[in-house]
Structure 1
């Protein structure tokens, strides 16, 4: 399965693949009919207030866990003067979202459940229920440390007892104390969205639409096409070479299609549900639901990653995965815990860019796929050796055919099966960590001369995973957020060191690659 593991028997993978499709396709066909019946019944019950069943690719995120699957973002709003940020945000949301409820049914409706599926009722959500004032400290400074603790408390708790409202904003009415050295004011916003609403890229696009002025650089299809499908060099040599290239492409397409149909689903099951469970100091069999959330950034970190990638011919995800692996190993060593050879995790992958038209409302959708993989632990004295091992391992494991099947299952198959049945066969029992990486665009100028100074991504502890890394590149900076379940550690300083070590390991990679390359 991996370089350090025994070779996976192709016949076994083929057999698992065939059995899985043989079970899944009839089940999907049966539940597609059942789901349509539920849809008809609900339409008769609620009439015009019925907003429809949640999309197939949204349903999976309603699985039961110790905490709900929220995508949380901390926004730092910088202003040259004191402002009433709460009123400003309330006005924006009332005008752009609740003023056009049919364009944002997930945000203006309420979620209900019936027959094993989730659906929404139109117009059930009100602005006052989703835009709230952030609770300020009484006996301590309103510092960034307090903000981290407040964010963790928000993540731990449901938005309401019935889970009917799936998003909310916490707005600070006062600026952070002693945060800016230039005399400016910094007001934090904690924005929380249930993952069923959209993936991270769509939510960033929503933030840009809501708060960016006319000069804000929006997410564009060109940006995502460049990230997802790099340009292919064209060959113009004469002779027989074009025919050879054509033959190679045909053979490659046949091999790709064969792997997609007969092996990819089997590998997904082996790498996910059938993987041997990790045994290390960051993995538990059960979790408390109580969280520690921290973050860190460094102004030069993004440029360092780009330089490392160019010097070593590695992918962006390989560089940050090496830094993540090294940060976890640093945690093991500090706490005198055994260092495993590998740490497995789940990575969110973007296979398609968000549907964004500057004239139309932002389409809130889940387009990401997820793959399980294993990272070699950084045990070498030379961190470049670790990067090479991680790159080779990820190139072997993260196959595009597997990602296509994962995305197809999310978008078209799993949503047909009632969540109570599906969640028994899903989760990340074996994996230690979750990693998400989101492109965030350029600096956003906002209302009243404000600037969106910093964006902190908080990735959720997905089902049976206790440590998550959220990474975003925004304003030419790389920002990392780390969330850890307190069943792993209750020491916030230790978790902060994991976040800080990520940047430190990027610096070490940059220095090592400059010497070697």
Structure 2
């Protein structure tokens, strides 16, 4: 049994709300001097970084690919967890051997190197290096042979892989450096053995591995599939429909009014930044066995999906339609909180009253017109999730979670975090960047979701399954990534081994999220008879 620390806010178990951030006169007296002092220091580092860029340009000449952007550079600071995103794709194919399939994938991968896209050329062909705490690129250092790896699985004593083998293979992939002694930002991995056939169709696995500095999940997916999708025009159209679901709306104002509104919003968020950072420290007291210990860097990769004959996505849509203010993220987060409650009951001496979930928000949508860009436009915000399974109805629990999400959206948290992440922290040298990141959201788990990813044949093959795994963020050792593909719910989970040594317990946790979503729908139907 693991000893869990159970804490609440001293109000009889009432959940801790995110404070409304309002600029009172006293707040201004505190914030403005801090902003001026830190802003002056930041400006000095920006100037130093620019001078360093000029020096490196003189030294390397045409090989110099520029400084890594501030939003990308935050993933270059030293951390316990690898910053690599993994996407596992299972293909059905008429190709008869694993060697032939790997050769086929290798030929397709060459398309990325034949691309003359000025927005992404350096990230595909270049490597990154560091000098005085800043990361920069060198152009044209890689070839297609560098970025395709065939993983030798001769140690597995059977002709065909089982689906259950893929979890251990992902664990092994996570331990591998990226090409060019970990200086490249991406690679494609194929396996030396096929999966067990599905009738007459052969099945093979491709694992895409990209450093998060390559781009956020949506940006990286769009870029890669823009070049390997069999029907690019259909894929771009489907992606255009997908990004509309992320809720990053267009401002109705135009011209000078839009610019003024944006300027004052930025000023307001800058003034709020010290308050946001200070308030985040209050979440550090909500610890448990999955939240607090120093991470080891060793990970469990597991995944789960709904049964082939059930329609869990339709059930989620019905819950969303029937419960006021319920959102897809809120429903998934509620399922995770209920599964975590089951985990704590099974494995811990005490059950925490609540957990803090770090929800990943996309503040800027990828441009789907013309050349795709590889950018990082995400930030993390805290959502309080009470352990209410068995204590209140599912409608009441969803209402509580929805209120927490709305409270987060009503405050400038996400905008402040976006400005800090994309435009501020990454301009400091990596040791200072790491210190700043360590002060960020203290949470039990992170949650990323990509709803409605289009059904996309690629590499000239039929896509059967698709799972996505995002790296653990800062000191958060539990990371859920939810992806809907072919209208089926797929959940990938990455957990640091220091938090949960047994892989079976991690697999039970992700399976229980699917189970809880199923039970939530059954309870919802009973309460609405």
Scaled to the shorter chain, the TM-score interval is: 0.7 to 0.9
- Measure, in 2, the Cα distance between the counterparts of 1:92 and 1:320: 36
Quote how far apart the aligned CAs of 1:385 are: 2.8
- Measure, in 1, the Cα distance between the counterparts of 2:194 and 2:156: 16
Tell me what 2:184 maps to: 165
Quote how far apart the aligned CAs of 1:36 are: 0.6
The aligned length equals 494
Equivalent position SS for 1:128: coil
Tell me what 1:90 maps to: 106
Distance 1:388 1:19, change over 3 A: farther
Contact 1:260 / 1:405 at 8 angstroms: preserved in 2?
no
- Measure, in 2, the Cα distance between the counterparts of 1:271 and 1:475: 40
- Measure, in 2, the Cα distance between the counterparts of 1:375 and 1:482: 18
- Measure, in 2, the Cα distance between the counterparts of 1:7 and 1:400: 9
Tell me what 2:78 maps to: 64
Asked whether 1:100 is paired with 2:116, we answer: yes
How do 1:229-240 residues align onto structure 2 when only pairs under 5 Å count? 229=248
- Measure, in 2, the Cα distance between the counterparts of 1:8 and 1:405: 14
Tell me what 1:78 maps to: 92
Distance 1:213 1:290, change over 3 A: same
- Measure, in 2, the Cα distance between the counterparts of 1:45 and 1:147: 45
Tell me what 1:374 maps to: 384
Deviations 1:466-501 (A, max 9, x none): 111011122211210011111012211111111111
Equivalent position SS for 2:145: helix
How do 1:443-482 residues align onto structure 2 when only pairs under 5 Å count? 443-448=455-460, 450-482=461-493
Asked whether 1:431 is paired with 2:443, we answer: yes
Unaligned runs of 5+ in 1: 235-249
How do 1:42-441 residues align onto structure 2 when only pairs under 5 Å count? 42-82=56-96, 84-100=100-116, 102=118, 103-141=120-158, 142-159=161-178, 162-177=181-196, 180=198, 182-214=199-231, 216-218=234-236, 220-229=239-248, 257=265, 260-261=268-269, 264-298=272-306, 299=308, 300-313=311-324, 314-357=326-369, 360-381=370-391, 382-399=393-410, 401-427=412-438, 430-441=442-453
Contact 2:443 / 2:476 at 8 angstroms: preserved in 1?
yes
Distance 1:284 1:156, change over 3 A: farther
- Measure, in 1, the Cα distance between the counterparts of 2:129 and 2:375: 19
Contact 1:204 / 1:440 at 8 angstroms: preserved in 2?
no
Tell me what 1:242 maps to: none
- Measure, in 1, the Cα distance between the counterparts of 2:280 and 2:154: 43
Quote how far apart the aligned CAs of 1:98 are: 4.4
Once structures 1 and 2 are overlaid, which stretch shifts more, 329-338 or 221-230?
221-230
- Measure, in 2, the Cα distance between the counterparts of 1:493 and 1:423: 33
- Measure, in 2, the Cα distance between the counterparts of 1:191 and 1:90: 13
- Measure, in 2, the Cα distance between the counterparts of 1:159 and 1:14: 46
Distance 1:13 1:161, change over 3 A: farther
- Measure, in 1, the Cα distance between the counterparts of 2:274 and 2:390: 33
Equivalent position SS for 2:501: coil
Contact 1:54 / 1:120 at 8 angstroms: preserved in 2?
yes
Deviations 1:75-129 (A, max 9, x none): 1112245262211221122123345375421121011111221011001122222
Once structures 1 and 2 are overlaid, which stretch shifts more, 465-474 or 436-445?
436-445
Distance 1:88 1:207, change over 3 A: same
Equivalent position SS for 2:453: coil
Once structures 1 and 2 are overlaid, which stretch shifts more, 498-507 or 403-412?
403-412
- Measure, in 2, the Cα distance between the counterparts of 1:15 and 1:276: 26
Distance 1:183 1:412, change over 3 A: same
Deviations 1:10-49 (A, max 9, x none): 6676566435423332122111110110000000000000
Distance 1:100 1:231, change over 3 A: closer
TM-score (norm 2): 0.86
Tell me what 2:3 maps to: none
How do 1:16-55 residues align onto structure 2 when only pairs under 5 Å count? 17-55=31-69
Quote how far apart the aligned CAs of 1:156 are: 3.0
- Measure, in 1, the Cα distance between the counterparts of 2:155 and 2:18: 59
Quote how far apart the aligned CAs of 1:271 are: 4.4
Equivalent position SS for 1:420: helix
- Measure, in 2, the Cα distance between the counterparts of 1:56 and 1:231: 25
- Measure, in 1, the Cα distance between the counterparts of 2:418 and 2:109: 31
Quote how far apart the aligned CAs of 1:281 are: 2.0
Contact 1:67 / 1:157 at 8 angstroms: preserved in 2?
no
Once structures 1 and 2 are overlaid, which stretch shifts more, 96-105 or 502-511?
96-105
Unaligned runs of 5+ in 2: 1-7, 253-257
Quote how far apart the aligned CAs of 1:51 are: 0.3
- Measure, in 2, the Cα distance between the counterparts of 1:259 and 1:414: 17
Deviations 1:314-357 (A, max 9, x none): 01111011011111111111114321111113221012211223
C-alpha root-mean-square deviation of aligned residues, in Å?
2.9
Distance 1:229 1:114, change over 3 A: closer
Once structures 1 and 2 are overlaid, which stretch shifts more, 489-498 or 402-411?
402-411
Distance 1:5 1:99, change over 3 A: closer
